Amino acid sequence: MPQWWLGADSEGSDWKPYTLKGCKAHGKADSLVAAFEEVPDRNAAEAIDGLYIAVPRDALPKPAEDEYYWADLIGLEVVNASGVRLGAVKGLLSTGAHDVLEVQDGELERLIPFVASYVTEVDAVARRILVEWEADW
């Protein structure tokens, strides 16, 4: 993304746009070093250290058919072909081979591969995912 939004408030009340000059992974897998047009020196960089990074939804490219942003899947009900509710999507995992739905049903958690052989339909409007997955798997 050529422009990032940074803010101290995760709710987005104080977000400001920054123009990205460059970015690379640093140290731990979850750390980044980024350079912005609006941050001219080390003091300015220290002032933005630890801020949240975001992008407004309307700045994201539209997903292709049968592609989804993870945020759009979280909270959707998961139902199998027999009509049995398996829970709701709590999160997703990236395994390298494919993504995996984390489906929470009370204390029970199911991990369902997010591949066409198991996930047969994603209906964002109805807030439901239909899967070929049995309740006792």
On the question of pLDDT at 11 being above 80, the answer is no
**Residue 86, in any domain of the structure:** yes
CATH of the domain at 81: 2.30.30.240
Does the structure show a pLDDT above 90 at 34? Answer: no
The reported pLDDT for the residue numbered 12 is: 66
Is residue 54 in some structural domain? Answer: yes
- % of the chain surpassing 70 pLDDT: 99
Q: Which range marks the domain in which residue 43 is found?
A: 3-59
Q: Which residues contact 88 (CB under 8 A, 6 or more apart)?
A: 75, 76, 77, 78, 103, 104, 105
**126 in the same domain as 75:** yes
In a domain, 50, yes or no: yes
Number of domains composing the chain: 2
Given pLDDT bands bounded at 50, 70 and 90, which one contains residue 66? confident
pLDDT computed for residue 29 by the predictor: 67
Is the domain of 54 the same as that of 100? no
Positive or negative, the Cα torsion across 107, 110, 85, 100? positive
Residue where one domain finishes, among candidates 59, 86, 106: 59
Q: What's the rounded mean pLDDT across residues 80-98? A: 95
Q: Is residue 64 part of a domain?
A: no
Q: Are 55 and 1 in contact (CB under 8 A)?
A: yes
Q: Which amino acid is at 17?
A: P
**Of 33, 59, 85, which marks where a domain is finished?**
59
The confidence band for 42, taking pLDDT boundaries of 50, 70 and 90, is very high
Fill in the DSSP letter of residue 57: G
Q: Are residues 43 and 83 in the same domain?
A: no
